[in-house]
Amino acid sequence: MSAEVSAFEYRLYPLSSLKSNQKKPPTIKDVAEKAGVSVGTVSRVLAKEVAVKAALRERVNQAMAELDYRVNIAARALRTNQIDVIGLILPDITNPFFSQLAKSIELQAVKRDHSVMLASSQGDSVIERSHVRAFLDRSVRGIVVIAATDNDFSESQSDVPIVSLDRRLGRYPLIATDHERGAALIADHLYGLGHRHIAYIAGPQDTEVGRLRKAGFVNRIKHLSAKGERVKLRIHHGKFDYGSGEQIARKLLKTTAGTQITAIAAASDQLAIGALRVARDLGLQVPADISITGFDDIDLAALVVPRLTTIRQQTDLLAECAMDMVFGSINKSRIKTIEGELVVRDSTAEARQ
Amino acid sequence: MSAEVSAFEYRLYPLSSLKSNQKKPPTIKDVAEKAGVSVGTVSRVLAKEVAVKAALRERVNQAMAELDYRVNIAARALRTNQIDVIGLILPDITNPFFSQLAKSIELQAVKRDHSVMLASSQGDSVIERSHVRAFLDRSVRGIVVIAATDNDFSESQSDVPIVSLDRRLGRYPLIATDHERGAALIADHLYGLGHRHIAYIAGPQDTEVGRLRKAGFVNRIKHLSAKGERVKLRIHHGKFDYGSGEQIARKLLKTTAGTQITAIAAASDQLAIGALRVARDLGLQVPADISITGFDDIDLAALVVPRLTTIRQQTDLLAECAMDMVFGSINKSRIKTIEGELVVRDSTAEARQ
DNA sequence: CTGAAAGCGCTTACAG
DNA sequence: CTGAAAGCGCTTACAG
């Protein structure tokens, strides 16, 4: 009895149909049959080749519509060694600036009928390297990487275009904001407001970004110092995150030397926001007692209290240039620089006396 | 003369080698030859099948190492109708809570040797739908979606597991925080601090999350009202973003009724942070004059001034459960709920008299 | 346990 | 302009 039941059930749901109880999706062959043409012709219609007679094209399109045909991407990839995917590698999607960049990249990719694969390096260039290889294995159309750290990374010669964005990867082309000049704009701004005791919270010096922003700021301050009033500049180093900002600002503002400081220039908005929070904790008014500046202009910069004076990076433009370079000619230039823009908000004011 | 030169150049760089001047990557066939076995055996070693003699396995592994062999993913995908990719669809990667979730998902995927493809729906369920189809076309291993809005979405029956995370997609299984209970915890907290004039800033009511959090909060307040002191509750509706919080709080606090309010409970941290900023603009001290609460516990919640009292969502656990469900048995439960946790920080205090 | 062979669904020279 | 056919690099019954 029980055997009978189970046999009956088996008849109803044979194993093969359990695993996939929908019919197999139609292939190019089905379309060809239905339209009464060869598979080659279907493929040509698919590829939007012009050299197909309108009548045939029409029949093929109709057949595809009727069958709800969808091209098999794996088969195409196997033939062409290429898929419509852009690989994006970044240190941490949680970083608001990177997530803005990721959004822009995705937008650009969709605009070109591509998808994006996302991989986090967690700031580790070994992981980063393995992600690059993995993307290459997948025959992606191109790879965009926001590099973890400086390194001499270089994959064995490959057809796949690799470009770095914001933070340089090895000798690959780079699209980035002019960090040096942006930092100089901040220096000018603070100097113009009469600040002569300034602390600079630098980003990590094992990244080009960190070094460039610091150099841009410091050199500009030196320049101004040389031809005008002298500036006392203290420099501290951290990462780019909130925590570093908090930690460094706390240490800084508690020293006696720290009490003389009238402005803190931070190498990133996150650092600046961390500093903002410390200032508040210590009962300092921003900007009345102390001015604070950032870099990046993440969404949050306009929302913190007080709103942050910073350098705006044009993420949309950066992403667009990166993708242009991926899809563009072979003759890629080494580096493409985008201007940052000084955005003056409420966190800076004239230096207190 | 010029013809000669060009012929010479052509000889040096025939077109085919210009396009790809690296040698073709080795295939399973090359490995088989080198190891002196059949391609079938190589494939079996690749698949880590145990039923391969150690001696052969050894030879194959050696050959693969020497040739630096890498499996062709497209070919495998064509055969198996499956790739080691998880599709992740979310409304906006820029939303800090979603980006935290995305990070956790990617971590989980890597742990299972999968990659993630990212697609933004921009809160539009038509785009969302097309992304689902696109992922299905790619034969991804599974799809995780943070739904744009409520809708009765349902793809034609498919082998590919689809699960929704945080925000429900159609009738697909959902992994989410217990929003209702979380909101009730906030209600208890505020009531316990003596707040009797409360404003609730609700999230969009065309999302289940928005409705559940509101219901959880409102019902709990009603319950407390019924058996204790009465609470005056005002409800306003917005989106989940900073801007809505700012806008609603501003309107709210400027009314005469608004001045009686001693607490604002917001349906998200972003709304709460927007409200925080308005309170500050209007010269209100938080929490002395007014308490403000959020929901999510994004990184930022612990960094704003004052630090935000909120409900912590366990993003790692949410992501893990979602991936367990993707990779898990066929017998998926409709819904899996994770507890939220009340995190009391500095933005709430006893109600002013 | 292993090999020979079929076949996944496309694209693309090659003829005509 | 179109068709017939080869082949991309794998996996997997099927024998043995």
User: How are strands ordered across the β-sheet holding A291-293?
Assistant: A232-237, A197-202, A263-266, A291-293
Over pLDDT 70: what percentage of chain B?
A: 91
Residue-wise DSSP of B3-43: HHHHHHHHHHS-HHHHH--SPPPP-HHHHHHHHTS-HHHHH
Q: How confident is the model at residue B13 (pLDDT cuts 50, 70, 90)?
A: very low
Q: How confident is the model at residue A156 (pLDDT cuts 50, 70, 90)?
A: low
A124 touches chain B (CB under 8 A): no
C-alpha dist (Å) from residue A282 to A2, A245, A285, B308: 78, 14, 9, 18
Tell me how many degrees the CA angle A106-B88-B164 measures, rounded to the nearest 5.
140
A28 CB below 7 A from strand C atoms = yes
Average of per-residue pLDDT values in chain A: 88
Under DSSP, is residue A345 helix (H, G, I), strand (E, B) or coil?
coil
- Indicate if the pLDDT at residue B221 is higher than 80: yes
Ramachandran quadrant class, A137 (left: phi over 0; alpha: psi -120 to 50; beta: rest): alpha
Q: How confident is the model at residue A332 (pLDDT cuts 50, 70, 90)?
A: low
How far apart CA B12 and CA A129 sit, in angstroms, is: 33
Q: Which residue has the tokens 């809570």?
A: B97
Distance, Å, B24 CA → C10 C1': 20
Which of A15-29, A149-163, B123-137, B314-328 shows the lowest mean pLDDT across its residues? A15-29
Q: How confident is the model at residue B24 (pLDDT cuts 50, 70, 90)?
A: confident
> Nearest Cα to A72, choosing from B75, B186, B350?
B75
Cβ–Cβ < 8 Å for A310, A269: yes
pLDDT per position as a tens digit, A285-296: 999 999 999 999
What's the alpha-carbon Rg for chain B, to the nearest Å?
28
pLDDT for residue A207: 85
Residue-wise DSSP of A102-168: HHHHHHHHHHTT-EEEEEE-TT-HHHHHHHHHHHHHTT-SEEEE--SS------SS-SS-EEEESS-
- Indicate if the pLDDT at residue B311 is higher than 60: yes
Domains of chain B: 2-71 (1.10.260.40), 81-172 (3.40.50.2300), 179-313 (3.40.50.2300)
Q: How confident is the model at residue A7 (pLDDT cuts 50, 70, 90)?
A: very low
The helix (run of H) or strand (run of E) holding residue A60 is: helix A54-67
Q: Count of alpha carbons within 13 Å of A130, Cβ hemisphere only?
A: 10
Give the mean pLDDT of B222-230. Answer: 94
Task: Please list, in sequence order, all residues whose beta carbon lies within 8 angstroms of the beta carbon of residue B208, skipping any fewer than 6 positions away.
Answer: B150, B167, B168
List CB contacts (< 8 A) between A103 and chain B.
Answer: 92-94, 120
pLDDT per position as a tens digit, B97-135: 999 999 999 999 999 999 999 999 998 989 999 999 999
> Nearest Cα to B295, choosing from B65, B96, B37, B90?
B96
Average of per-residue pLDDT values in chain B: 88
pLDDT for residue B157: 67
Query: In this predicted model, which residue has the larger pLDDT, A328 or A9?
Result: A328
pLDDT for residue B3: 35
Give the mean pLDDT of B7-24. Answer: 40
Contact state of B157 with A19 under an 8 Å Cβ cutoff = no
Task: Please list, in sequence order, all residues whose beta carbon lies within 8 angstroms of the beta carbon of residue A66, skipping any fewer than 6 positions away.
Answer: A34
pLDDT for residue A331: 53
Judged by C1' against the alpha carbon of B49, the nearest nucleotide is: C1
- Indicate if the pLDDT at residue A89 is higher than 50: yes
- Indicate if the pLDDT at residue A216 is higher than 90: yes
Task: Please list, in sequence order, all residues whose beta carbon lies within 8 angstroms of the beta carbon of residue A107, skipping any fewer than 6 positions away.
Answer: A316, A319, B120
pLDDT per position as a tens digit, B159-185: 789 999 998 888 889 999 999 999 999
Query: In this predicted model, which residue has the larger pLDDT, B154 or B161?
Result: B161
The helix (run of H) or strand (run of E) holding residue B327 is: helix B315-327
B27 touches chain A (CB under 8 A): no
Three-state secondary structure readout of B299-314: HHHHCCCCCCEEEECC
Distance, Å, B121 CA → D10 C1': 34
Chain B closest-CA separation from residue A116 CA (Å): 6
C-alpha dist (Å) from residue A156 to A170, A183, A322: 13, 36, 21
Over pLDDT 90: what percentage of chain B?
A: 68
Give the mean pLDDT of A78-103. Answer: 94
Name the residue of chain B whose CA is nearest to A18's CA: B159
State the first-to-last Cα distance of chain B, in angstroms, to the nearest integer.
99
B156 touches chain A (CB under 8 A): yes
- Indicate if the pLDDT at residue B53 is higher than 90: no
- Please provide the size of chain B in residues: 353
The helix (run of H) or strand (run of E) holding residue A266 is: strand A263-266
pLDDT per position as a tens digit, A258-280: 789 999 999 999 999 999 989 98
Letter for the amino acid at B43?
S
Residue-wise DSSP of B40-79: HHHHHHHTT-S-S-HHHHHHHHHHHHHHT----HHHHHHH
How far apart CA B38 and CA B47 sit, in angstroms, is: 14
Which of B178-187, B208-217, B248-257 shows the lowest mean pLDDT across its residues? B248-257
How far apart CA A30 and CA A69 sit, in angstroms, is: 9
Instruction: Nearest by CB to A93, from B103, B242, B280: name it.
Output: B103
How far apart CA B267 and CA B218 sit, in angstroms, is: 12
Query: In this predicted model, which residue has the larger pLDDT, A206 or B346?
Result: B346
pLDDT for residue A250: 94
The helix (run of H) or strand (run of E) holding residue A310 is: strand A310-312
Q: Which residue has the tokens 């989410």?
A: B176
How, if at all, do strands B197-202 and B263-266 pair? parallel
Other beta carbons within 10 Å of B341: 14
Give the mean pLDDT of A139-160. Answer: 83
pLDDT for residue B23: 67
pLDDT for residue A264: 97
- Please provide the size of chain A in residues: 353
> Closest residue by Cα to the C1' atom of nucleotide C5?
B40
Query: In this predicted model, which residue has the larger pLDDT, B11 or B171?
Result: B171
- Indicate if the pLDDT at residue A257 is higher than 80: no
Judged by C1' against the alpha carbon of A77, the nearest nucleotide is: C10
Give the mean pLDDT of A78-105. Answer: 94
pLDDT for residue B19: 39
Give Cα B177 to chain centroid, integer Å.
Answer: 13
List CB contacts (< 8 A) between A83 and chain B.
Answer: 74
Residue B72 phi, psi (nearest 5): -85, 110
Cβ–Cβ < 8 Å for A265, A199: yes
Task: Please list, in sequence order, all residues whose beta carbon lies within 8 angstroms of the beta carbon of residue B75, skipping any fewer than 6 positions away.
Answer: A74, A78
Q: How confident is the model at residue A17 (pLDDT cuts 50, 70, 90)?
A: very low
pLDDT for residue A137: 87
How far apart CA A232 and CA A219 sit, in angstroms, is: 13
How many Cβ contacts (< 8 angstroms) between chains A and B? 134
Name the residue of chain A whose CA is nearest to B87's CA: A117
pLDDT for residue B16: 35
> Helix, strand, coil shares of chain B as percentages rounded to 5?
45, 15, 40
As a dihedral over the C-alpha atoms of residue A40, residue A43, residue A48, residue A49, rounded to 10 degrees, the angle is -20
Name the residue of chain B whose CA is nearest to A133's CA: B70
Which of A47-51, A67-71, A345-349, B230-234 shows the lowest mean pLDDT across its residues? A47-51
Which of A137-146, A181-190, B81-90, B250-259 shows the lowest mean pLDDT across its residues? B250-259
